[in-house]
Amino acid sequence: HPSLVWFRDDLRVADNPALRAALAHGPTVALYVLDQDSPGIRPLGGAARWWLHHALVDLAASLKHLNVPLVLRRGPAAAVVPQAAEDCGAGHVAWNRRYGGPERDADSAVKAAVRAAGRTAESFHASLLHEPWELATRQGTHYRVFTPFWRELSGRDHRNPLPAPRGQESPRGIQAALESDDLADWGLLPTRPDWSGPLAEAWEPGEAAGHRLLEEFVGARSGRGAPTGPAGLAAYPDTRDLPARGGTSRLSPYLRWGHVSPFQVWHAVAGHRRDAPEGSAVFASELGWREFAWHTLYHRPDLGTANLRPEFDAYPWHRADGGDSRAGGADDDGDARALLAAWQRGRTGFPIVDAGQRELWATGWMHNRVRMVSASLLVKNLGIHWRAGEEWFWDTLVDADAASNPFNWQWVAGSGADASPFFRIFNPEAQAKKFDPDGEYARAWIPELGTDGYPEQCVDLAQSRAAALEAYREAKDAG
């Protein structure tokens, strides 16, 4: 019997246990489903759609080398996957597990339908070093604090990555029976206007490009790397907070789409524990934050919509979307909307924030330090709800995912797991002095910096800081 392998957030052929299992069962067909219809599934943002288009072109080419056809279909997974299995007469359907709430519900529905039709369905562990139910505190609860979580997880052995599988004979008969959508008909690429030029300059979506980046980053030594290239693992502790230096790996979209697996990254880094001990430890712990975000989402599927700390429900954030605002009337909402727009377009008058927002708009990515400073300005100084920022990032980031994005927004806002305490309000001027001391990063993204064309600061930092602290005290008392 043929086998069907259903690709999702694991767009790679190496270290892909579901693909291996399918090939071991028999002639294999691959499936990708554009699912915007299953209950609760969040439609992809614009930058993610752009990435996905190119990622699918790349995946189809890699699978072709293995003689595995890739079939594209659209619709709710619970209907589409069993139908595709039927169409190719598959006896076996395989996929790698997902951990978000609506995704798990969809996968359960698929599993039930596939089994009801007399086929086997098998799922695998591939996208995280740990599965969220594998780790628990001594009290048997999930982790809410990063340090003990990471101590436990990093102390474990993590399996070696699986090599790319060998291909198969061309499964001609099945291929003919399967209709596939034309990728172009999915309309994933922006057209009017086409804003994707700078994204295409910044990124090459796909598995091979992800591995090149990983090897370059892990292999590069301080002093030996090209000055504009990644500074590498050894220099990571010193350069990772300097946005002008490009000292981080830029692997986030490759991990997001599964071009690179966490096992591949973990073992690549572990190979340098001797020659770059500090760099490999610090970098591995960043991978740990990704794991922690997914651990949190699994146990709190409402991470993207609800404050994890309920006392924040009484905090008077502006929604800035015309929705209900606790804080005030129409005027307040109008102001909040204008401030949100200034923040989105990089016109707040705070250069490090504006540079970050423009980098995001142009390239679909923003440096982590700048993400923190920019998010803090939005939720603490401008008083706008973290959900408005999270939604903007969701639409504009090529690495946006259902766990890391809301997790980090809640972390900055103070409402999240192991969050930064609310009173820790980043000062964007002090942060710029420390992390972009020569203003190199700011100038790179703001050509009109220092001219009349650059906006005034949109908020008084001291006043807004005091107001935020006061609002927090009141919310805590009310909560």
User: Minimum CB separation from ligand FAD for residue 451, in Å?
Assistant: 29
Pairing of strands 120-124, 70-74: unpaired
d(CA 400, CA 360): 12
The one among 263, 350, 393, 426 contacting ligand FAD by CB under 6 A: 393
Instruction: Give the nearer residue to ligand FAD in terms of CB position, either 34 or 379.
Output: 379
User: Minimum CB separation from ligand FAD for residue 330, in Å?
Assistant: 29
Residue 457 in contact with residue 293, Cβ under 8 Å? no
Asked if 5 is part of the footprint of ligand FAD (rule: CB under 6 A), the reply reads no
HSE (CB half, 13 Å, CA atoms) of 87? 18
Residue 371 burial (10 A CB sphere; 0-12, 13-18, 19+): buried
Q: What mask of x and - would describe binding to ligand FAD in positions 450 to 479, judged by CB under 6 A?
A: ------------------------------
d(CA 84, CA 70): 12
Asked if 256 is part of the footprint of ligand FAD (rule: CB under 6 A), the reply reads yes
The one among 22, 56, 234, 400 contacting ligand FAD by CB under 6 A: 400
Instruction: Give the nearer residue to ligand FAD in terms of CB position, either 28 or 405.
Output: 405
Report which residue type is found at 445.
W
Asked if 214 is part of the footprint of ligand FAD (rule: CB under 6 A), the reply reads no
d(CA 401, CA 294): 10
- Give me 305's structure tokens: 């919509």
Segment 172 to 201, residues that bind ligand FAD, using CB under 6 A? none
Q: Enumerate the β-bridge partners of residue 5.
A: 30, 94
Under the phi-then-psi rule, with left for phi > 0, alpha for psi from -120 to 50, and beta for the rest, what region is 58? alpha
Asked if 250 is part of the footprint of ligand FAD (rule: CB under 6 A), the reply reads yes
Instruction: Give the nearer residue to ligand FAD in terms of CB position, either 90 or 320.
Output: 320
User: Minimum CB separation from ligand FAD for residue 401, in Å?
Assistant: 5
User: Minimum CB separation from ligand FAD for residue 296, in Å?
Assistant: 10
Asked if 385 is part of the footprint of ligand FAD (rule: CB under 6 A), the reply reads no
The one among 251, 303, 355, 382 contacting ligand FAD by CB under 6 A: 251
d(CA 344, CA 361): 8
Residue 386 in contact with residue 409, Cβ under 8 Å? yes
User: Minimum CB separation from ligand FAD for residue 162, in Å?
Assistant: 20
Could you tell me the end-to-end alpha-carbon distance of the chain, in angstroms, rounded to an integer? 59
User: Minimum CB separation from ligand FAD for residue 378, in Å?
Assistant: 9
Instruction: Give 27's contacts (C-beta < 8 A, 6+ positions apart).
Output: 2, 3, 168, 169, 171, 174
Q: What mask of x and - would describe binding to ligand FAD in positions 364 to 383, judged by CB under 6 A?
A: ----x--xx--x--------
Task: Give 231's DSSP letter.
Answer: -
Segment 42 to 71, residues that bind ligand FAD, using CB under 6 A? none
Instruction: Give the nearer residue to ligand FAD in terms of CB position, either 108 or 147.
Output: 147
How many beta carbons lie within 10 A of that of residue 209, not counting itself?
A: 17
Segment 329 to 368, residues that bind ligand FAD, using CB under 6 A? 368
The one among 113, 255, 336, 355 contacting ligand FAD by CB under 6 A: 255
Q: Could you identify the residue written with the tokens 């966490």?
A: 262
Asked if 293 is part of the footprint of ligand FAD (rule: CB under 6 A), the reply reads yes
Asked if 404 is part of the footprint of ligand FAD (rule: CB under 6 A), the reply reads yes
Asked if 261 is part of the footprint of ligand FAD (rule: CB under 6 A), the reply reads no
Peptide bond into 102 cis (omega under 30): no
Asked if 405 is part of the footprint of ligand FAD (rule: CB under 6 A), the reply reads yes
Residues in the interface with ligand FAD (CB under 6 A) total 27
Instruction: Give the nearer residue to ligand FAD in terms of CB position, either 391 or 399.
Output: 399
CA distances from 53 to 183, 187, 188, 209, 212 (A): 7, 9, 6, 15, 20
Instruction: Give the nearer residue to ligand FAD in terms of CB position, either 352 or 372.
Output: 372
The one among 119, 240, 309, 347 contacting ligand FAD by CB under 6 A: 240
User: Minimum CB separation from ligand FAD for residue 66, in Å?
Assistant: 27
SS3 328: coil
- Give me 330's structure tokens: 């129409």
Instruction: Give 460's contacts (C-beta < 8 A, 6+ positions apart).
Output: none
Asked if 408 is part of the footprint of ligand FAD (rule: CB under 6 A), the reply reads yes
Instruction: Give the nearer residue to ligand FAD in terms of CB position, either 342 or 370.
Output: 370
Residue 313 in contact with residue 151, Cβ under 8 Å? no
d(CA 149, CA 42): 28
The one among 22, 276, 397, 432 contacting ligand FAD by CB under 6 A: 397
For ligand FAD, the binding residues (CB under 6 A) are 240, 248-252, 255-256, 286-287, 289-290, 293, 368, 371-372, 375, 393, 397, 399-401, 404-405, 408-409, 412
